[in-house]
Amino acid sequence: MRSAKKIGAKCFGITCNPDHKMSRLAHEVVVLKVGPEVIAGSSRMKCGSAQKMVLNMISTASMIRIGRVWKGVMIGLQPKSKKLQRRAIRIVSELGRVDHDTAKKTLEEARGNVRVAILSLRLAVSAKSAKKIIERTGKTQGSSSTRTISVRV
């Protein structure tokens, strides 16, 4: 964290120990109050699970905030495998309100970009126009304040 801060990077920590030195070094800290372990003598089990839950919440909120989720559906996926290609077509079909074949064709025109394909269909514009609209809208910027957040799990 010291090295990261020297180059201007923001540091974030998640801990179950509020007195850990990381709490003093990080710009943002989540302190989890997990209570005693079910199995005495192993503090890592409950804390590790709690930290994973917080990381899942943070990544979910981040995906929403940067515009990769719409109407509860991940639209920022990259269809690089057959499974994800099928999922992308299904998402474009559902959110674009079109049949499977139209969704597939539009997704191809959008070069696999699910967001572009959906916007193209919803606004009845070309994939190129949809991409320009998305580029013009930009991304939401987060807060740069420093604070400690306590969460009871």
The pLDDT tens digits for 67-107 are 889 889 999 999 999 999 999 999 999 999 999 999 999 99
Report which DSSP code applies to 27.
S
Cβ atoms of 46 and 34 closer than 8 Å:
yes
Separation CA 5–CA 98 (nearest Å): 49
Residues 6 or more apart whose CB falls under 8 angstroms from that of 89 comprise: 100, 103, 104, 107
Report which DSSP code applies to 141.
P
Same domain, residue pair 120 and 78: yes
Q: Domain range for residue 59?
A: 2-65
Count of structural domains within the chain? 2
pTM above the 0.75 mark? Answer: no
Share of the chain above pLDDT 90, in %: 61
Q: Is the pLDDT at 150 greater than 60, yes or no?
A: no
Q: How confident is the model at residue 42 (pLDDT cuts 50, 70, 90)?
A: low
Cβ atoms of 88 and 74 closer than 8 Å:
no
Cβ atoms of 127 and 110 closer than 8 Å:
yes
Separation CA 18–CA 35 (nearest Å): 13
Same domain, residue pair 129 and 81: yes
Same domain, residue pair 127 and 77: yes
Q: What does R_g of the chain's alpha carbons equal in angstroms?
A: 21
Does a structural domain hold residue 152? Answer: no
Domain stops at, among 12, 38, 65: 65
3-class DSSP state for residue 63?
helix
| Residue 32 phi, psi dihedral angles, 5° rounding | -95, 125
Separation CA 88–CA 86 (nearest Å): 5
